[in-house]
Structure 1
């Protein structure tokens, strides 16, 4: 029985790290004999010349998906491994959003002791109702023991319109299947409510009680360990940890305490985003082929741009964005949901079904905010802390226009847990060498390199999606035309 079959039969399935690949999901393929012999010949010659010149580089086998766990890094188990406090550091995770909960799950599977702290008093304390699109992470979620998302919706068609309804671009599985293209991309985008994904991850932990709700971080001091100060029910509590991970969002307290707000302040990207969720049932029988729960469509005029995607099987989420001075964007957002909806409706008297969707959206399901990111972090800034690191929006916040925020947070969480498992092979080792040398430097180097292109691409999208580039005629995502122009 494979992992997917086990998972579909019981939500209580436990997982443990695959011993064949040590939880990494990939294994090195055996070197070909010719390559191995060539290296040995070069090494022998190097030694004969008494180590003159550059030493030959030992070849590495190509990585391939681990057949034992089908690439997830996990195997089904009767129970989760016991936290190994002798081998691993005690990890304090600050922030119970997607990245923080994902890291907790990945630690659970590896027997890494952790505590998850969240300032909110409960799961639904704040409105977090927007949807997200799993791209690279649609495969990575298997690394958290999630092999199916019941509330996820797969899109098979993406359409770009002018405001009059003319189609200027179309792609996706349905388009490719109708064309003469010999092969179509394998990647599948899964659309899911953020809270649905967050709930699925929390279920992997065993429920909401695992989260330390109502813990607001107010202080952090590094010494032999890290002393954390939390405000809990109006009282100050001190807690110690070996490693602290800030997963607390774009306005991260951990980042502010360790790096400082003035070092990499919020950077306004010149536009505001207004979002809403509309149940299809509220459209009073209005029918349109774009509302088939499998189509993503966007409409633009070179200034305003609306993006509408399935939120779940019975509703859609829309995101309207347009350039606006920062002071005006803050003022509009502060006026509340009624003003945001009115502004969105006023700007989108376009082709069907856009006016109908926005009119039917309840004001309580509308939100809006000025769009920010931050300047890219450098290794030097992170290396100021010996026992503290950042993941997700705390490390690399980005605009929502490439749909990469949650994807990168999930990849960060899995990468960090795998690096802790790899780098902390004994307590004496990481205690002596330090958690930064044993784990953080290598993890952060990979994270910063991987996420940098996403941050930059998301910032570029905030500009080109509100320009005439978005209206060029071509059956491909809008950013590809820009890349061709730059190359």
Structure 2
């Protein structure tokens, strides 16, 4: 990693989640001076397991993380769709098939494991914890930031990577209309040993009339992460990301289902609660010396599993364009916004929502809907577009 010179562009990144750390690492490798400001008092990554599509893993492999990821993560060999009584509706091979088709594997990984790998790429001295941003102002010569504890600082450019509830986005877009999507989720982790009927190299989807359960192996097959999708009326409408769910609600939703499902529910403990809200794509990501990245720029429903993948692509593109000027931020936005808007809108009604017990072929449609996302190579797209750094 090159050492930035004292005169190098100073970039403030707000948010030390996956997107913020990926951006910070990319900008540091480009020779810029970077400070990351995180409101939490200690580094952490909320959530349980996550998908890394081929568009994401090819980026991470190019960063030298292939060996670590292949050790920590799981490359699922198949995705199975089953009815609530366990009948197999469809089975889609993955593993080698997907890796050959897309040029990189689909991996499933604990969010904390990926977060730690990215954190290792950013010097701890560059990460400032307990820094809750309360205001930022883009002037002609700098961006000025003020934090809840009274700290103030300035930078040449500001990247808001502070998630779906972004304080930086509010300075760009103001108040926004957030709509309950009609679905909510309970999620958690279960040791694989407690669900012996499930293969630790297979993803599962159980579909009912109103609820469905997605189960994915993580942690080198030692655990399964699950997401139970329920009607939004079953949980409070407030937009929680890390709330506590009700074990009784989870048990009631899957009462009488196949024994593999009920075994997982019994082993799940207290689930996390996640209400799924939707937003319209932003017409712009920034102004002056400010831009957005990841969920702060394009918060999307999780049905295509692309939250992290799109943030990683953003980080690559941002580092490509950034030359220290506000104009370079606009070039970054112009390159990325059409792509992320298409992904964001495609997640509405996508993914498992297209799979119904009464309508065979839904899984094939899901794969077709997302193939273009998995095939996308952000570095190749930058070259092909003739985008100037």
Structure 2 CA distance for aligned equivalents of residues 348 and 204 of structure 1 = 42
SS in 1 for 2:259: coil
Structure 2 CA distance for aligned equivalents of residues 103 and 471 of structure 1 = 44
Instruction: Tell me which residue corresponds to 2:91.
Output: 170
- Correspondence for 1:299 among 201, 206, 217: 206
1:445–1:357 Cα change, 3 Å:
same
Q: Deviations over 1:342-395 (max 9, x none)?
A: 1111111311311101111122xx20121013111113xx35x11000000000
Structure 1 CA distance for aligned equivalents of residues 114 and 368 of structure 2 = 32
Following superposition, the deviation at residue 210 of structure 1 comes to 3.4
Instruction: Tell me which residue corresponds to 1:427.
Output: none
1:104–1:185 Cα change, 3 Å:
closer
Following superposition, the deviation at residue 329 of structure 1 comes to 3.0
How many residues matched?
Answer: 363
SS in 1 for 2:227: strand
1:164–1:158 Cα change, 3 Å:
same
Instruction: Tell me which residue corresponds to 1:19.
Output: none
Verify: 1:191 aligned to 2:108, yes or no.
yes
Verify: 1:310 aligned to 2:217, yes or no.
yes
1:271–1:370 Cα contact (<8 Å) kept: yes
Structure 2 CA distance for aligned equivalents of residues 131 and 410 of structure 1 = 17
Q: Deviations over 1:10-55 (max 9, x none)?
A: xxxxxxxxxxxxxxxxxxxxxxxxxxxxxxxxxxxxxxxxxxxxxx
Instruction: Tell me which residue corresponds to 1:377.
Output: 282
Structure 2 CA distance for aligned equivalents of residues 123 and 174 of structure 1 = 32
Following superposition, the deviation at residue 417 of structure 1 comes to 1.0
* Residues 404-423 of structure 1 aligned to structure 2 (within 5 Å): 404-420=306-322
Instruction: Tell me which residue corresponds to 2:380.
Output: none
1:333–1:340 Cα contact (<8 Å) kept: no
2:79–2:93 Cα contact (<8 Å) kept: yes
- Correspondence for 1:472 among 350, 359, 372: 359
- Correspondence for 2:345 among 425, 439, 456: 456
Using structure 1 for the length normalisation, give the TM-score: 0.69
SS in 2 for 1:389: strand
Structure 2 CA distance for aligned equivalents of residues 475 and 294 of structure 1 = 22
Q: Any unmatched runs of 5+ in structure 1?
A: 1-79, 178-182, 425-429
Verify: 1:341 aligned to 2:247, yes or no.
yes
- Correspondence for 1:321 among 216, 229, 237: 229
Instruction: Tell me which residue corresponds to 2:293.
Output: 391
Structure 2 CA distance for aligned equivalents of residues 193 and 184 of structure 1 = 25
Q: Any unmatched runs of 5+ in structure 2?
A: 371-389
Structure 1 CA distance for aligned equivalents of residues 58 and 46 of structure 2 = 24
Verify: 1:252 aligned to 2:166, yes or no.
yes
1:378–1:268 Cα change, 3 Å:
same
Verify: 1:216 aligned to 2:118, yes or no.
no
Instruction: Tell me which residue corresponds to 2:373.
Output: none
Instruction: Tell me which residue corresponds to 1:279.
Output: 191
1:314–1:218 Cα change, 3 Å:
same
Following superposition, the deviation at residue 81 of structure 1 comes to 1.0
2:89–2:357 Cα contact (<8 Å) kept: no
Larger radius of gyration: 1
Structure 1 CA distance for aligned equivalents of residues 120 and 96 of structure 2 = 36
- Correspondence for 2:48 among 111, 130, 143: 130
Following superposition, the deviation at residue 396 of structure 1 comes to 0.4
Q: CA RMSD in A?
A: 2.7
Following superposition, the deviation at residue 142 of structure 1 comes to 2.9
SS in 2 for 1:141: helix
Q: Deviations over 1:265-312 (max 9, x none)?
A: 32221111110100123x2xx532xx2221001011231011000121
SS in 2 for 1:441: helix
SS in 2 for 1:446: helix
1:175–1:230 Cα change, 3 Å:
closer
Q: Deviations over 1:75-99 (max 9, x none)?
A: xxxxx2111343x421000000000
1:273–1:321 Cα contact (<8 Å) kept: yes
SS in 1 for 2:347: helix
Structure 1 CA distance for aligned equivalents of residues 5 and 239 of structure 2 = 51
Structure 1 CA distance for aligned equivalents of residues 305 and 50 of structure 2 = 7
SS in 2 for 1:248: coil
Using structure 2 for the length normalisation, give the TM-score: 0.86
Structure 2 CA distance for aligned equivalents of residues 407 and 280 of structure 1 = 26
- Correspondence for 1:142 among 61, 85, 90: 61
Structure 2 CA distance for aligned equivalents of residues 332 and 197 of structure 1 = 25
Instruction: Tell me which residue corresponds to 1:114.
Output: 34
Structure 1 CA distance for aligned equivalents of residues 365 and 96 of structure 2 = 16
Structure 1 CA distance for aligned equivalents of residues 96 and 172 of structure 2 = 49
Q: Deviations over 1:181-218 (max 9, x none)?
A: xx855442111111110100111224x44310000101
1:330–1:369 Cα contact (<8 Å) kept: no
